[in-house]
Amino acid sequence: MPATDLTQVVILGASGDLTSRKLVPAVYAAQCQHLLPGRCQLVGVARRPWDDAFFRNHLTQSAPKLEACSYDSWEAFLKQTTYVQTHLDTPDDYRALAKRLDELAGEPANRVFYLAVKPELFLTSVENLHAVGLLDQSAGPWRRVVVEKPFGTDLASARVLNKALLGLIGEDQLYRIDHYLGKETVQNIMVFRFRNAMFEPLWNHKYVELVQITVAETVGMEGGRGGYYDTAGAVRDMLGNHVLQLLSLVAMEPPSRMTQKAIRDEKVKVLQDLRLHTDMPEPAKYIVRGQYDGYRAETGVKPESQTETFIATRAFIDNWRWGGVPFLLRTGKHLPARYTSISVQFRMPPHTLFGSYQECHLRPNTLTLRIQPNEGIDLGFEVKEPGAGITIKPAKLAMDYEDYFHKAIPEAYQRLLQDVITGDQSLFLRSDEVEESWRWADDLLKAMQQTPMQSYAKNSWGPSAANDLFGECEGRWTKG
Ligand code: BG6
């Protein structure tokens, strides 16, 4: 029996964008749909001298338009929402916070501390929470901490942060979030692979020629992100986390059961076996980095910045299943479309009966998992065009989520916050997973320094050299 069914979701850094755009709507939607296991109070914590009324008004102004609840209204939800002014680097303020949380609950309560704060404040906040006993679970109710990315800036700093945090709380209390794992279509990767007998027998080097993953964005540095982004770049911001998560779900071995340990163990193994295409002597042959025109003039960006806003690379997974199969990964800002997809390109049949397989454009069997937008799955194959002779034409079977299920796809944060409250860590990164991702990203960042920074026009698909990452007759990017 849980000690209490009351949970306080305490957001540190509550005056920021993430809180109003994603976190509060997620809690509201989960409550509306009766998806939370008990009662819930939302508490915003930040430095600004706001009060409850100001905070509530701020949320109403800045949250996206939310569908009304069937049983409850936004106004009723806001009544249970409070604001506590706290300087997150001032230990004394946490004593006051602890007292206020107790008063608000009026009874024992579970607590989620969501760190929607600058990375420099991750450890300080946890140390301060710990120092006033807010992370102590010995009285019964649980205490969980959610950490946003970036988790460190390289392998060494991620290790230091892991060690320091795990010196204060248990791994079972620490939820390292990657919001891509909360996306409905990302979660479907495992169902698609492991619940259908049809595809998994083909899911290996014998039948798969190449896998490509694209996360393309149309946005740039909107919302004053230039300062942060210029210290991160496309590898740290997207490739080394979101794209690697997609890769590990596509490439992992089936877990023996759907437990958080089994799933995370298998994902870690893929990351351990991931390497760059280092058999090529020149990194420029397997890494293409780019910067969009006008990036250096963005607010917060250094005028001589060498930060990449586009990255594409060719990687391999050195294991029995994937030996020799290239994984082409690409992400960038200011590309022509918002488009995230995974394409599994199958090999040609072993013997030529129709046409010549030397024709390089012939790569008929491709399975594309469309992650966003227009979520769905496409299976490409070839058919005979009706009429005399044999003319072969590409065709596809397509499934669209919204058409099929006639319902909107929930926001990633909603699912992930529900999982924090129910205590399921399957969709959160374990310390070894973060470290293995950094191991690979560090190698990439190092090798990338030996490649030229190429500029690209906004609204283009990045430097054209990204097309040369495909070997002869290996096809091309599914878009662009
Ligand atoms: C964030 C990155 O983690 O993901 C942003 O910091 C990026 O730069 C965003 O724009 C993309 O998320 P989504 O859900 O819009 O694909």
Which of 238, 298, 437 is the best mutation target for the ligand 1 pocket, counting ligand atoms within 8 Å of the beta carbon and taking the most?
238
Confidence bin at 1 (pLDDT 50/70/90): very low
- Closest ligand 1 atom to 232 CA: 6
Q: What is the pLDDT of residues 76-101, one digit of tens each?
A: 888 889 999 999 999 999 999 999 99
Domain ranges of the chain: 6-148, 181-411+427-469
Active-site option among 58, 130, 179, 242: 242
Fold of 6-148: Rossmann fold (3.40.50)
Q: What is the DSSP letter of 429?
A: B
DSSP letters along 240-255, please?
IIIIHHHHHHHHPPPP
Q: Alpha helix (H) ranges present in 235-368?
A: 244-251, 260-273
User: What is the CB neighbour count within 10 angstroms for residue 136?
Assistant: 12
Whether ligand 1 lies within 6 angstroms of the CB of 237 is answered as yes
Give the C-alpha separation, 155 to 157, whole Å.
6
Q: Tell me the two tokens of residue 56.
A: 């509530």
Q: What is the pLDDT of residues 180-196, one digit of tens each?
A: 999 999 999 999 999 99
How big, in percent rounded to 5, are the helix, strand and coil portions of the chain? 40, 20, 40
Instruction: For residue 205, indicate whether it is catalytic.
Output: no
What is the predicted pLDDT for the residue at 63?
77
Whether ligand 1 lies within 6 angstroms of the CB of 217 is answered as yes
Closest CA to 309 of 234, 215, 223, 219: 234
Q: Distance, CA 344 to ligand 1 centroid (Å)?
A: 23
Ligand 1, atom 8: nearest CA belongs to which residue?
Answer: 237
Q: What is the pLDDT of residues 243-269, one digit of tens each?
A: 999 999 999 999 999 999 999 999 999
Give the C-alpha separation, 263 to 242, whole Å.
17
What is the predicted pLDDT for the residue at 69?
66
Q: Distance, CA 51 to ligand 1 centroid (Å)?
A: 30
Q: Is the pLDDT of residue 66 over 80?
A: no
For residue 421, the SS3 value is: helix
The rounded mean pLDDT for the chain is 93
Q: Distance, CA 352 to ligand 1 centroid (Å)?
A: 44
User: What is the CB neighbour count within 10 angstroms for residue 398?
Assistant: 13
What is the predicted pLDDT for the residue at 364?
75
Q: Is the pLDDT of residue 371 over 80?
A: yes
Q: Is the pLDDT of residue 357 over 70?
A: no
Q: Is the pLDDT of residue 68 over 80?
A: no
Residues of the chain with pLDDT > 90, as a percent, come to 79
Ligand 1, atom 15: nearest CA belongs to which residue?
Answer: 217
The two domains 6-148 and 181-411+427-469 share their CATH topology (first three levels equal): no
For residue 180, the SS3 value is: helix
What is the predicted pLDDT for the residue at 391?
86
How confident is the model over 420-433, as a mean pLDDT?
95
Q: What is the pLDDT of residues 323-347, one digit of tens each?
A: 999 999 999 999 999 999 999 999 9
Fold of 181-411+427-469: Dihydrodipicolinate Reductase; domain 2 (3.30.360)
Contact between 30 and 415 (Cβ < 8 Å): no
What is the predicted pLDDT for the residue at 278?
79
